[in-house]
Structure 1
C-alpha cells in the first residue's frame, strides 16, 4: 500500500482455539489512540466489578430554623467522581434528580437558604487534564476535563447562525447551558465545506474561551460542542435554578470547591450511577474519553486509596504485570488514548483480551461492550457486506495519522481469533486507512 510507505505499523493475531499465534509483525511500541480503552475498561471491570456504582450525595451544612423555614448554611452536591452524572448517555437514569432534591427541601419546611449552593469536587484532585493532551483538544467536548463532580458530560453547546456566503463571520445565538461568568470569543467563519471545522480553545477553570475555524454556510442553528471550564460550578448553578423554581429563595450564589467544605455535612440523599458494566459499554461503544479517564482514577482509589492519574496508571500496569501480560514498550499516560504520549505493542492488547476471555463471567460482559462490525458505535460503517459484519467485535482508535483496531471474531472454521493492529504516520485520512485494513483482516476469516 502506498499509504504505508513512510508509516510504522504493528499487528498480532492469536487463535485461542489452537493456542497459536497466527500472524505477527515485529512488536513496535506505537501510539494506539482509543484502542487503549480496551486496557482501561478491562482493568476497571476486573478491579471494580461489573455491578460497581458511583455515588453522588446531596445535603447541607448549617442549621435549619424551623420557625422561619430558613436554612442558615449551604446546600452541597458532594461529587463521588461519577462520570455519568446527568450524562446524555444515561438521561432517563438521572431524570428529575435535582427536582427530587429540591422537593426534599420543601418537605423539610425550608422556604429560604441563607447561603450558597456548592458543587464539591474534592473526590478527585484538581488536575483536570492528563499530561500529553494538546491545546487543540482540551477545549473541545472530547477533551473535557475530569472532576470529582462531573456534570452532563462536562460539555456545553454553542448555537451558531452562519451567513449564506462562505468566508463571512458567524454569529453565536446562545450558549447552553449558561454558566455564571462565562464568555466566548467567536472567530468562526462560514465555509463551503459541509462539516464542522471549528475548534474551541480553553483551559479548565478559565471562564473565557475562544473558538476559531469554519462551519457550513447558510445554517440557522449549527451546533458545536465545547468542554465546560468548571463543571462543579455548572452543577451547583443548575441545582440553584431548580430550587429557585420551586419557590425556595437562595440568598447566596453557585460556587465550586475542590478541597472539601468546612462544617458538618448532613446528608439528605444519595444518587447512585448506572452499573459499571453499563458505563463501560458506553465507553467502548461510543469511545467516551471522559468515562475512561474517570475509570482510571477509580482504579487508583480501589487499589491504593489514591484516586489520582499517577496511581491509576501504576496500579493498572501492576495488575497486568502480575498476570504475565506482555508489557514491553507499554507507556501509558492517560486512560482514554487521547494523549499522543501513549505507546503500546499490539501483543499487549491481545493478551489483555485473552485474559478477559479466559475468565468465566468477565468475557461476555466485556466483549459485548465492544462495537459490533457494521452495526454499532464506532464500527458501524466498517465490514458492511462482508462475512465479518455482525460477527467481529472491536474497539477502534483514530486520530490524525493514527488508526487502530483491537478485538475478536470467530472464523469460518469456528476458531476464536483475537487481533490488534496499529498504524502510525500513514498518508491519507484515518477513515481511509481503516477501510484499507478491512481486506487484511478478512484474510484471517
Structure 2
C-alpha cells in the first residue's frame, strides 16, 4: 500500500493542535499495511462486481485513533467533488472570516430625518453585506427594526446598494441556460429568500377548473402565467412549474394537469432578479408596516457623503455557523456561494468576485500545508470545474477534527446518517445509522455521487472520503456503494454468547445518545 503520510498528515496545520511528528505517522501506516491492503482489494473487487470502473472511484478511510489507513484506492487522484467542495468553503470561511462572523446590512438616511414626524427628507439607503439569511421572517424583522427607529415616511427613493459583491450573479459551473431550478439561484449582496420563490399549487374544486397558484412571498414583481387545469382523480398529476425572465420580471409558468385528489404542495424555483426582488419584498413589507415610500426603488452605491453621517440602523445576521449548517445539512448552493463571495469581499479584492475568492482560498490552502493544490472555482461545487482527491478531503477533515475550538460546530453541522439533512433517508437499516456524519455530493450529469465525513465509533473515529465519478450506475447504486465501503471499514459486532451479560452500547459497537 502506498504511503499517504505526507499527503494526509505531514505538516498540516491545525487551528489549535501542533502537527503530529511525521515519523510516528509513517510507523503507524507501516504497521497497518496488511489489513489496509486486504480491505482495499476487497473494495476494488466489490466495485468491479457492481459495474464500476475502479479508476472512476477514489476511496480513503483512516482510523484517527492510531493514524492507520484502512482503505485506499486512487486516493491521490483528483475527482469532481460536487457538494463535497462545501467542506473547503466552510473550513476556509471559519479561518478567514471567523466562526462567529456576522453579515451586516446597514440603513442610511440620505436626507434630514425628523424623528418627531418620522419623515426622511430624501432617500433611504439599504447597503447589503451578503447576508444569506434574509428569509421572509428576517426581512419582516428588518423592516420592523426600521420602524423602531421612528421611520414612517420616505420623501425620496428606496436605494438599494449591492456593491459589496460584483455585478455578476452566477458563478463558474452554473448553467447558462434557462434553468429555473432553485439550486441554481443567483447571488447578490442583497438577496431575499435565497433568491427563490415558493409556488403553492392546489387543485381546483372541480374537474376542468384552474389549478390554484399562489407565490410566496406575494410581491408585485412576480407575474403568474398558468394554463394548468384540475384533472380527474384517476389521472396522475402532470403539473409543471418553472420561472422565466419576462419584461424585467420573474414569470411563474404553470402548465399541465393536477389530479383533483392531489395534495397541495410547494414548488421552489429561482427568481431572475436579485436587488429588484429584494426591493419588491421590502415595498410589500413597508406597506404592511405603515412606511410610506413616495419615490421609486432603484439601485446605487451609498455615496461617501451619506456614509459619513453613519448608519441609521445596522441589522446583524445570525453567525456563520448557521449558514455552514445550511451548506452541510441541506447542501445549499446559495449559502455556499454567498459565503464564498464574502471571503473575497472581506479578505481579497474587496469586490466579492468568484475569481478573487478562489485566489484567497488557494493561498489559504497552501498556507495550511494541505496537500497539493485545488482550483476552488466556486463555493458550492456546482459544475465540473472543481477537483479534490480523497487524500485532500481526508486531510481537510482531519484538520477540522483536531481544531478544538471549532470542531464541535463543524462536525455538528454535517448530516447524520438516517437522521437528518441529505442523509435522512440513507443508512436507515445499517448499523451505521446515527454514527456517520458526512457531506454528500451529487451531480447527475457527471455521474458524481460522493460522501466524505466521519464515522463516530465508541472507541475510535474514522475519517473517510468516497468519491465516485462514474456515469454507469445510478445514484441509488452510489448510495449502496458508500454504505458497503463504510461497513467494510467497521467490523460487525460480535454476537452475544448464550448466558453472557447483556451488551452495553459500547459492546454493541453503536454510539450512545451522548456520542451521537
TM-score range, shorter chain: 0.7 to 0.9
Q: Residue 77 of structure 2 aligns with which residue? A: 28
Structure 1 range deviating more: 422-431 or 330-339: 422-431
- Mapped contact 2:133–2:193 kept (Cα < 8 A): yes
Q: State the match for 2:199 in structure 1.
A: 158
Shift of 1:241: 3.1
Q: Which residue is 2:40 aligned to?
A: none
Q: Deviations over 1:141-172 (max 9, x none)?
A: 21111111122222112233458999x99746
1:188-222 CA-partner distances (Å, limit 9, x unpaired): 78899989985635469952446578676334743
SS of the residue 2:150 aligns to? helix
The unaligned stretches of length 5 or more in structure 2 are 1-48, 491-516
Q: Which residue of 2 aligns with 1:227?
A: 270
Q: Quick one: distance in 1 between partners of 2:235 and 2:483?
A: 28
- Which of the numbers 312, 317, 323 marks the counterpart of 1:279? 323
TM-score (norm 1): 0.85
Residue 250 (1) aligns with residue 299 (2): no
Gaps of 5+ in 1: none
Corresponding position of 2:343? 299
Aligned to 1:81: 130
RMSD: 3.3
Look up the match of 1:18.
Answer: 66
* CA spacing shift, 1:317–1:195, aligned 2, 3 Å: farther
Partners of 1:193 and 1:124 in 2: CA distance: 48
Q: After superposition, what is the alpha-carbon deviation per residue over 1:286-323, rounded to whole angstroms, capped at 9, x for unaligned? A: 11111111111222233324222111111112111122
- 1:141 aligns with 182
State the match for 1:239 in structure 2.
282
Instruction: Give the equivalent residue in structure 2 for 1:98.
Output: 143
Select 2:450's aligned residue among 404, 412, 420: 404
The TM-score normalised by the length of structure 2 is: 0.75
Moved more, 152-161 or 239-248: 239-248
Pair 1:200-2:242 in alignment: yes
Quick one: which of 365, 369, 374 aligns to 2:418?
374
* Partner Cα distance (1:418, 1:378) in 2: 18
Number of the residue aligned with 2:44? none
* 1:63 match: 112
Contact 1:14–1:418 (CA under 8 A) maintained in structure 2: yes
The answer (yes or no) to whether the contact 1:55–1:272 under 8 Å persists in 2 is yes
Shift of 1:251: 1.6
How far is 1:350 from its partner? 0.8
Q: 3-state SS of the aligned residue for 2:440? A: strand
CA contact (8 A) 1:121 1:260 kept: no
Preserved contact between residue 5 and residue 426 of structure 1 (Cα < 8 Å): no
Contact 1:151 1:234 in 2 (8 A): yes
Partner of 1:217: 259
2:403 alignment partner, SS class: coil
Q: Deviation per CA, 1:45-75: give whole Å up to 9, x if none.
A: 1221211111111232122467976422112
User: Is residue 371–residue 377 contact of structure 1 (8 Å, CA) maintained in 2?
Assistant: yes
Larger Rg: 2
Corresponding residue number in structure 2 for 1:354: 398
Change (3 A) 1:399 1:348: same
**Partner residue, 1:174:** 214
Residue pair 1:374, 1:384 contacting (<8 A) in 2 also: yes
Q: Deviations over 1:109-157 (max 9, x none)?
A: x5x3222222221111111100221146852221111111122222112
